[in-house]
Amino acid sequence: MYNPRRLAWDDALTTGDMEIDVQHKFLIDTFNDLGDAIQHGAGMGSINKILGVLRHYADWHFGKEEDCMERYHCSAANINKIAHEVFIEKTTNYQKEYELSGDSNELALKIHAELSDWIVNHIMAVDGKLYPCIHNKPKPVTS
């Protein structure tokens, strides 16, 4: 049986803003819940509910993160906003596509894999640019 990728919080993901970091940890936990639901065959209702949570999380969190980037004059603010718009569109489409699939495990795994890549790459590459804006120094390197 395929084991969906699990994500774990790591200091390399920190943005330097405690509230944003706590929200990112919630995102990672919810993403892992999606993987668990897929792995254990929880069914369409559970998977669709988690996709809905991710979609609502995006609406709530992205506004807070965008405000934070504006407040600290982060150079990644515009890129961040565009990436958020793409994520919202993707999650909305994923949820619709999954509902129409009639509980396709293959589609659920595809969605999970794509979200995994987006979450890690976005937090590290874009959200991580917030750290030096808040602290006026480069982000520490972790091993």
For 63-80, how does the pLDDT look when each residue is reduced to its tens digit (9 = 90+)?
999 999 999 999 999 999
**Predicted confidence (pLDDT) at residue 143 exceeds the cutoff of 60:** no
What is the pLDDT at residue 136? 84
Q: What's the pTM value of the predicted model, to 2 decimals?
A: 0.87
The widest CA-to-CA distance across the chain, in whole angstroms, is 50
- Of the candidates 78, 89, 82, the one whose C-alpha atom is nearest the C-alpha of residue 129 is 78
When the pLDDT of each residue in the chain is averaged and rounded to a whole number, the result is 89
Average pLDDT over residues 34-55: 88
What is the pLDDT at residue 2? 61
What is the pLDDT at residue 79? 95
